[in-house]
Structure 1
Amino acid sequence: MAKPKKTVFFCQNCGHEEMKWLGQCPMCKEWSTFVEESVSTAGKSPKSSGKSDVRPVSLSAISTDQEERIKVKIDELDRVLGGGIVPGSMVLVGGDPGIGKSTLLLQVCQSLSMNEKKVLYVSGEESLSQIKLRANRIGKFNENLLLFCETNLEIITDAIEKEKPQVVVIDSIQTMYNEEVSSAPGSVSQVRESTNVLMQIAKGRNISIFIVGHVTKEGTVAGPRVLEHMVDTVLYFEGDRHGTYRILRGVKNRFGSTNEIGVFEMQKEGLKEVKNPSEFMLSGRPKNASGSVVVCAMEGTRPVLMEVQALVTYTNFNMPRRTAAGMDYNRVNLLMAVLEKRLKFQFSNYDAYVNIAGGIKLNEPAADLGVVIALISSYKNKIIPEDMVVFGEVGLSGEIRAVAMPDQRVNEAKKLGFTTCIMPKSSMKGLEVEGIKVVGVDSVAELMHYID
């Protein structure tokens, strides 16, 4: 006799469950996110009434000795993970189709297996021969890497119990299914329950698990948002699939710094590390062109030099156009309003376009000064010296506010051959750097001396 089923509605954003369809989710307040799914009402195991030997433990009795991290030997990935893989952790890797998620994780498996770590690669999307073809392009492998093509979570669990690997890769979580859940693979119920089973394996057996997650058109991991809350680390693989460079960004990390980035270049042999991101961000920079300036931003603990471009041109329409690529559109409007108010610039008759070269997204407030100087340079058609780098936050009163870690920023600029640095005057206290001219400014009005 078939198990009786009932129909429920799940929120695709947060996983909230309701008995009827709702236009707005009462938990996450998102609209039109409920989907209908059938779930089984029988076969659920009752709660155990037996006594457990597990007892609460005093905080003072818990050892603080941490297990040694597993080094991947891929420096860019180790940096994003906070120094390596923590045993027993779960890492979610998300990214657009074709961006290189499977290639990156196969290279991780190669590096770990070559360092005498037993790795199990579980694929629900490719056959063994397809994985072998991709592996031949990457390089040599040894017997420490085991391949398994399966989507049934119970069979996968048995394989993990039998082989006892140190690291497991699941590609992808949307293809896995649990027989105890009646909905289709990829549904909210299946993704949530499958992740929960894998989390119990990771924590109970001290096995590190990487899971690949598909992303939606908005760029977030498909499935319930609770998926990101369950795992220890969330990594996003960004970049243009038609371009050569990829950026691995950590947006959540319980064992390290967030917002760290790793930069890779896609080649025919696989992904190659970019040791100096600043150098490739500035490659192809135009010479003797107005509206171009170099800023120094912090990505986690790493200073990265980027080129900010601005184009201010007279408009033929009643309402000028504003466009921002690579940074917050509203922030650009705010900075333009500061220039109109404090420096009496008339941007109402001009279109303005701001772009961060290199395809990277820049959200740090220290980029404000670079945007302001680029806008002034394009508006007045004045060329910024090629050996100048800037950073600083701009307030609504036109003041230049202090930013964190100024010494790392100045040293990075010096290392790449820049001779002048414009920065907030309040950040110069205790700063001692030789070989580069450091100029402190208090307001946007002082910038005119260095542009004219």
Structure 2
Amino acid sequence: MAKATRRYVCRECGASFPKWRGFCDACGTADSIEEEVFAVRPKAFGVVQGGKSKPAVMSDLSVQTLDEPRRSSGMDELDRVLGGGLVRNSAVLIGGDPGIGKSTLLLQAAARLAGTGGRVVYVSGEEATAQIAMRARRLGVDGAAVQVANANALGEIMAALDAGPPPDLLIIDSIQTVFSENLDSAPGTVAQVRACGHELVQYAKQSGAAVFLVGHVTKDGQIAGPRVLEHMVDTVLYFEGDRSHHFRILRSVKNRFGSADEIGVFEMAEQGLIETPNPSALFLGDRDEPVPGAAIFAGMEGSRPILVEIQALVAPSPLATPRRAVVGWDSGRLAMILAVLDTRLGLSLGQNEVYLNVAGGLRISEPAADLAVAAALLSSLSGHSVAPATVIFGEVGLSGAVRRVARSEARLKESSKLGFEHAIVPAGSEGKDLIRTTEVGGLEKLLSLFPLDDR
């Protein structure tokens, strides 16, 4: 007979401890240790009751693979992030802040897939079926043949799925509300999320369905629960966005069937999420005439080139320690650029307050934005605006040299398509025949474009 025992597990990283403590020694998170009750079975590993377990089937790499085409979800931006569409036997985990639009996105995708003849099951542990129907009417998809259920018990969900043919798409909203009747712990605990997630992933592998699991996030923006859940699934998506802005970004951080770091862009409207095939036009839509401190950066998000405006303000500081405020970029990267400008060009930016903002609320992480940030800072300091219809990209080294970046041809092609006529790029960049370019090998050449003598 199984013997019940207790241990204490961190809900953030999954580390276990024999006794409760106020913070996790593994990840350093405070107040994240939860009690977990589990059963220890008095039998050897791999042996079932009454004899030996069935051995695993071995094969070589010549085994026949599944070459079935992907199925479109009905939303091109979602298909782009997934790598081309839904994959059978796949498990997808999608997380995001509360109210960002995860349920809206999945309900719209479910309705469009059902409209093409696919069988879709939507299981919600947070909303009643009447509430889901109300949201469907608001989105204009209430006529879709989507099977909806309100259930939290894993046994009830699996029994309902086994009663009919496997769906093409199964949506569980959310995994933190589902609980297994075989465990004594509450829904959302590490044990419940791990056990229920494993069961649903196995159902996807055995039934052929594409399973979407909605996950809650912590205050740091990470998916709540054990990190083993992200390892179990095939794809991990994050739905991002600032509520003060009307656009949302679906970002892939793990994808076994496609490219990671791919993004899809949506615009939040009264009728739901609207796909944005040209996000550069969205981010640059409110751009005014060139002003000092603004530079257009040609960046890459996955395989998609995106143009955004970087705004900088350099102002005298009355404080002994000037302020540094950064929105949408790495603050450590800004400190490095300021140190390089001060040391290599002899500027005094360290004595000024510096504010940096990526317009539109987009967050940029690639080093190719270094040159655009440096140009925005020099433009604000000198009072000279960047030349009209100009884009900038390049990585800045600690020596002040400007290094080439990947996919420069795609960046310049997107810039030319949106009407930009000039680009400031690292020396030796590809695609220079697409647009008029100014090559800079170091920050000294960039400084010559923003004379400081007539400040």
Q: TM-score, normalised by structure 1?
A: 0.94
How many residues in Structure 1 have an aligned counterpart in Structure 2? 446
Question: Secondary structure in 1 aligned to 2:433?
Answer: coil
In 2, the alpha carbon distance for the partners of 1:192 and 1:44 equals: 22
8 Å CA contact 2:34, 2:189 repeated in 1: no
Opposite residue 444 of structure 1, the aligned amino acid is L
Superposed CA deviations along residues 336-391 of structure 1, whole A, max 9, x for unmatched, are 11100111101132100111001010011110000000000001111112211010
Counterpart of 1:96? 97
Q: Which moved more, 1:418-427 or 1:279-288?
A: 279-288
8 Å CA contact 2:5, 2:40 repeated in 1: no
Opposite residue 424 of structure 1, the aligned amino acid is P
TM-superposed deviation, 1:32: 3.2
Counterpart of 2:433? 433
Counterpart of 1:449? 448
Question: Secondary structure in 2 aligned to 1:379?
Answer: helix
Question: Secondary structure in 1 aligned to 2:296?
Answer: strand
8 Å CA contact 1:233, 1:252 repeated in 2: yes
Aligned pairs for 1:24-423 within 5 A: 25=24, 28-32=26-30, 34-41=32-39, 47-48=47-48, 49-52=51-54, 54-60=56-62, 62-142=63-143, 144-163=145-164, 164-423=166-425
8 Å CA contact 1:327, 1:361 repeated in 2: yes
TM-superposed deviation, 1:142: 4.9
TM-superposed deviation, 1:22: 4.8
In 2, the alpha carbon distance for the partners of 1:196 and 1:359 equals: 35
In 2, the alpha carbon distance for the partners of 1:194 and 1:326 equals: 36
Question: Secondary structure in 1 aligned to 2:449?
Answer: helix
TM-superposed deviation, 1:414: 0.4
Question: Secondary structure in 1 aligned to 2:109?
Answer: helix
Opposite residue 300 of structure 2, the aligned amino acid is M
Opposite residue 173 of structure 2, the aligned amino acid is D
8 Å CA contact 1:153, 1:176 repeated in 2: yes
8 Å CA contact 1:72, 1:108 repeated in 2: yes
Opposite residue 289 of structure 1, the aligned amino acid is V
Opposite residue 222 of structure 1, the aligned amino acid is A
In 1, the alpha carbon distance for the partners of 2:346 and 2:218 equals: 43
8 Å CA contact 1:114, 1:141 repeated in 2: no
Counterpart of 2:10? 11
Question: Secondary structure in 2 aligned to 1:427?
Answer: coil
TM-superposed deviation, 1:285: 1.7
Superposed CA deviations along residues 70-123 of structure 1, whole A, max 9, x for unmatched, are 111211111111101111111111011111110000001001100111000000
8 Å CA contact 1:5, 1:38 repeated in 2: no
Question: Secondary structure in 2 aligned to 1:223?
Answer: coil
User: What is the aligned-residue identity percentage?
Assistant: 44
Question: Secondary structure in 1 aligned to 2:428?
Answer: helix
In 1, the alpha carbon distance for the partners of 2:30 and 2:287 equals: 44
TM-superposed deviation, 1:18: 2.2
Q: Which moved more, 1:82-91 or 1:4-13?
A: 4-13
Question: Secondary structure in 2 aligned to 1:451?
Answer: coil
TM-superposed deviation, 1:36: 3.0
Q: CA RMSD in A?
A: 2.0
Question: Secondary structure in 1 aligned to 2:360?
Answer: coil
8 Å CA contact 1:245, 1:266 repeated in 2: yes
TM-superposed deviation, 1:320: 1.1
8 Å CA contact 1:7, 1:36 repeated in 2: no
TM-superposed deviation, 1:52: 1.9
In 2, the alpha carbon distance for the partners of 1:336 and 1:286 equals: 26
Q: Which moved more, 1:30-39 or 1:404-413?
A: 30-39
8 Å CA contact 2:3, 2:41 repeated in 1: no
- CA 1:210/1:45 → structure 2, altered by over 3 Å: closer, same or farther? farther
In 2, the alpha carbon distance for the partners of 1:402 and 1:156 equals: 53
In 1, the alpha carbon distance for the partners of 2:387 and 2:444 equals: 19
- CA 1:380/1:176 → structure 2, altered by over 3 Å: closer, same or farther? same
TM-superposed deviation, 1:432: 5.0
8 Å CA contact 2:390, 2:423 repeated in 1: yes
Opposite residue 21 of structure 1, the aligned amino acid is W
Opposite residue 334 of structure 2, the aligned amino acid is V
TM-superposed deviation, 1:449: 2.9
- CA 1:343/1:143 → structure 2, altered by over 3 Å: closer, same or farther? closer
Q: Which moved more, 1:178-187 or 1:7-16?
A: 7-16
Question: Secondary structure in 1 aligned to 2:385?
Answer: coil
In 1, the alpha carbon distance for the partners of 2:301 and 2:42 equals: 47
8 Å CA contact 2:296, 2:308 repeated in 1: yes
TM-superposed deviation, 1:289: 1.5
Opposite residue 140 of structure 1, the aligned amino acid is V
Opposite residue 57 of structure 2, the aligned amino acid is R
TM-superposed deviation, 1:138: 1.4
8 Å CA contact 1:411, 1:433 repeated in 2: no
* Structure 1 unmatched ranges of 5 or more: none
In 2, the alpha carbon distance for the partners of 1:89 and 1:308 equals: 38
Opposite residue 28 of structure 2, the aligned amino acid is E
In 1, the alpha carbon distance for the partners of 2:415 and 2:448 equals: 22
Opposite residue 132 of structure 1, the aligned amino acid is A
In 2, the alpha carbon distance for the partners of 1:125 and 1:190 equals: 16
Superposed CA deviations along residues 224-266 of structure 1, whole A, max 9, x for unmatched, are 1111111111111111234311111111111111111111111
